Amino acid sequence: MLKKSLLTLAAATAAMLALASCGQGAGAGSQDKAAGTVSITHAQGTQDVPLNPAKVYTFDLGVLDTLDALDVPVSGIPQVSLPASLTAYGSPDIQNIGTMKEPDFEAISAGAPDLIISGRTAGSYAELSKIAPTIDLSISAKAPMDSFKAATASLGQIFGKEAEVAAKIAAIDTKVAATKATAPAAGTGLIVMTSGGELTAYGAGSRFGLIHDVLGVPTAAEVKAEGSHGEAISFEYIAKSNPGSLYVIDRDVAMGESKGAAEAVLNNALVKGTDAAKNSRISYLDPASWYLIGYGLNNVDAMVDAVATSVAKA
């Protein structure tokens, strides 16, 4: 009887150990799964994102530029006239996921992405999040470089590219510091965008505020604007501001509508009378770089170079 009881106890103990072992296995599996994600804080909250997601869709051309710089493959982008630096993503192998502002939810859902990065589609964040983990890496005009670095660091975490990101950011910081040290001596600057013959000025804190806020070019005028929109101006405004440097972005070229329109629009006596014109310091910035791409790892480097070249002319 005692022998039978001992056998029963041994069997029960073995069963309990087996159950405990199964439980530990399940726990380890959950931990492994958790270790395969990273929590990303972004413009619309916090999101757990898979590490090294295989299929990435992005509506943000700045992010696309960064992923290109980091050699991270992208599977889907919106239908857009791609700038020369990103034409490789016009391949038929890249999924069309809508437009820059209107996602094709059906196509995105059918494509089953592992990660979606919103851009100008930030207003559709909630709907996109129902399809796959979604993050909004929009850049803050109030703190462009800080938010750019934070967004880029997040991408480095997601794709295991922290070292590459750190090296590229350090190189950009060096260029920024050198440009900022010489910019004030070059005099004031005014940022103007031309579109359909109309003029709009942008100042500090604007979508193009990198020139003033980060690179230290003094403002030639106090531009009145709200959000990402600039202030509608006239040729008289430019003449009165009399900038030492004039930075011009041709939106028509960026949108593929015409070439050389900005030069024709600004070819008048009022603009020619400014110090910028007299000293050959009107810089026609790359429209795709400034208007379409914006804050990407390769592109920020190019934008800093453009301004550095301008202030070096003084």
What lies within 8 Å, CB to CB, of 128 at 6+ separation is 103, 105, 108, 116, 118, 121, 134
Phi and psi of 188, rounded to 5°? -80, 160
Stretch 140-148: mean pLDDT, rounded?
A: 91
What lies within 8 Å, CB to CB, of 160 at 6+ separation is 51, 52
- The per-residue DSSP string of 114-154 comes to SEEEESTTGGGHHHHHTTS-EEE-PPPTTSHHHHHHHHHHH
The identity of residue 47, as a single letter, is Q
Tens-digit pLDDT profile for residues 192-211: 999 999 999 999 989 999 99
Q: How far apart are CA 192 and CA 282, in angstroms?
A: 10
Per-residue burial over 67-77, b if 16 or more Cβ lie within 10 Å, else e, is bbbbebebbbb
pLDDT band at 227 (very low <50, low <70, confident <90, very high): low
Angle ∠(290,296,297) on CA atoms, nearest 5: 125
Tens-digit pLDDT profile for residues 259-278: 778 999 999 999 999 999 99
Tens-digit pLDDT profile for residues 22-68: 333 322 223 234 459 999 999 999 999 999 999 999 999 999 999 99
Q: How far apart are CA 13 and CA 233, in angstroms?
A: 85
DSSP, collapsed to helix, strand or coil, labels residue 5 as: helix
Q: How far apart are CA 299 and CA 289, in angstroms?
A: 6
**E strand or H helix at 215:** none
- The per-residue DSSP string of 231-254 comes to EEE-HHHHHHH--SEEEEEEHHHH
Stretch 302-308: mean pLDDT, rounded?
A: 97
Position 257 scores a pLDDT of: 79
Catalogue the long-range contacts made by 146-155 (C-beta closer than 8 Å, 24 or more residues apart).
147/295, 148/295, 148/300, 151/42, 151/63, 151/66, 151/295, 152/66, 152/297, 154/40, 154/41, 154/42, 155/63, 155/66, 155/67, 155/70, 155/72
pTM, rounded to two decimals? 0.85
- Contact status, residue 43 vs residue 63, Cβ threshold 8 Å: no
Position 256 scores a pLDDT of: 81
Tokens of 44: 């619309």
Tokens of 76: 């889907």
